[in-house]
Amino acid sequence: MVAIENVAFVFVAGLLTAIATGLGALPFFLVDDFSDRWNVALWGLASGIMVAASLFGLVREGLAYGSAALLVPGVLAGVALVEAADRLLAGYDHSPKQFEQAGYKKLLLILGILTVHSFPEGVAVGVSFAELGLAGVPPAETVVVYGVTLPVLAVFMTVAISIHNVPEGTAIAIPLRSLGVSEWRMVWWAIFSSLPQPLGAVVAYYFVTLAKAFLPFGFGFAAGAMVYLVVTEFVPEALEHGRELEHGGKPELTAGVVVGALAMVPLAFV
């Protein structure tokens, strides 16, 4: 039986990652525009963080629980989920401009689309909490937060997804700014775009705790989805913002990736 307090804690962690998306709109309280150079660097930072957290955290943890025989199929399943989601959403317009113009029914459709789009990020958070409440976890792999003993991996992944969500929030706010949307409403729509993540976190946590034998598959699934998202969405998004910059924004992207990856290096030594 999964403890309800653990599920609640995982939901709060997922909610924090969603709220972090709203931080991406905060610069518009101070400036009217956000330079392409900074956008590229932020996407690079998010990419470096996600790849490093997936390799140092999720993949390593999956191998610690079992062999590659379950991890590799999990990675492939994560890739397949993201690819299927992209194909499913290809015919739908869910750009931020639609948020302001949507009626109730269209908002439900947009929320459904965002659920498919944001689910892998929520899964990564939920899977990282797999050791929450388990006996026998080495103290070196846990940290106490407000009196609750948490897996270090869970803290790292929650922080990593939160940081990754900031440039997503900025990307959402930019077209809303062009529509004359107020700053606080931009913050709200940015958070709205990531609200499915707490749901994904809870669902993933529930299943990996019920089937602990399949933990390597779960860790691999989250890692595969995250790395594939970086390759197919984050990097192309960065290059799109940087196409008018010198060298196409590749130096800024590379610098962001390196800084993001180095920020996650401590995870390799936990």
Q: To the nearest whole number, what is the mean pLDDT of the chain?
A: 79
Cβ pair 203, 211 in contact under 8 A = no
> Would you say residue 59 has pLDDT above 60?
yes
- Sign of the Cα torsion 25, 58, 224, 196 reads negative
**What are 238-263's pLDDT values in tens digits?**
888 888 888 888 898 899 899 888 88
**What are 94-118's pLDDT values in tens digits?**
555 565 555 545 555 555 666 666 7
pLDDT band at 234 (very low <50, low <70, confident <90, very high): confident
pLDDT score recorded for residue 76 = 93
Which tokens belong to 268? 């390799």
pTM: 0.74
Cβ pair 127, 158 in contact under 8 A = no
Secondary structure E strands in 112-235: 142-145, 148-151
pLDDT score recorded for residue 72 = 92
pLDDT score recorded for residue 155 = 83
Place of tokens 């307090």: 5
> Would you say residue 219 has pLDDT above 90?
no
User: Minimal CA–CA distance to 55: which of 187, 222, 200, 185?
Assistant: 222
Which tokens belong to 140? 């070196």
